[in-house]
Structure 1
């Protein structure tokens, strides 16, 4: 089984911010389209390490993670099987990612 680990601050941007390219090079759309989605297609499992930055915005997380379903053709089930993520200090970031994936996949409350 092939596995890949992405460190957002080391592999993408020290200050990830915003949803779309108008928000800057560290936006969620670029993270999803240029790094996360390609790795999810290439590997059986991908882990996203969010440590090193504590101010992830909802717009970045929604576009990066929820956008996998809305824009990239992944299903909720695909992501449950293939994607893991963690932030060792701010667990609410993990909860927000779960919420954005669930909402995009029709699994919301």
Structure 2
């Protein structure tokens, strides 16, 4: 892995919402500031969800499903992105659900 991004330590212990209007620690900001610059550069990224409190569907879908809407394919993400959580392993499958679901909605 080239980069490790721990949401609780590198972004916020309390991430929330999709957009800027939902607060400063929203999913779009996390995606745009922490993930996209690395992934678009071809860097592999390990995202650690451990210890982030209240990771709502809106945050996760925007942060991770939004990667597909920004032009990354599921195949690229499977190669470059690893998601872990020591506190709630169901979050990992939830993230991949949002990525795959977003891919179904993207018009090619």
TM-score, structure 1 length as denominator?
0.89
Which residue of structure 1 aligns with residue 66 of structure 2?
A: 67
Which residue of structure 2 aligns with residue 7 of structure 1?
A: 6
Q: Give ranges in structure 2 of 5+ residues lacking alignment.
A: none
Kept in 2: contact 1:16–1:28 (CA 8 A): yes
CA 1:54 to 1:93, structure 2 compared with 1: closer, same or farther past 3 Å?
farther
CA distance, structure 2, for counterparts of residue 36 and residue 44 of structure 1: 10
CA distance, structure 2, for counterparts of residue 48 and residue 69 of structure 1: 16
CA distance, structure 1, for counterparts of residue 16 and residue 4 of structure 2: 20
Which residue of structure 2 aligns with residue 55 of structure 1?
A: 54
Which residue of structure 2 aligns with residue 29 of structure 1?
A: 28
- 1:44 deviates by 2.7
1:104 to 91, 102, 105: 102
Q: Give ranges in structure 1 of 5+ residues lacking alignment.
A: none
- 1:52 deviates by 1.0
Kept in 2: contact 1:76–1:105 (CA 8 A): yes
Deviation string 1:26-66 (CA, Å, 9 cap, x unpaired) is 10000001111111123531000111124200000000000
Runs of 4+ that moved beyond 6 A: none
How big is the alpha-carbon RMSD for the aligned residues of Structure 1 and Structure 2?
1.5
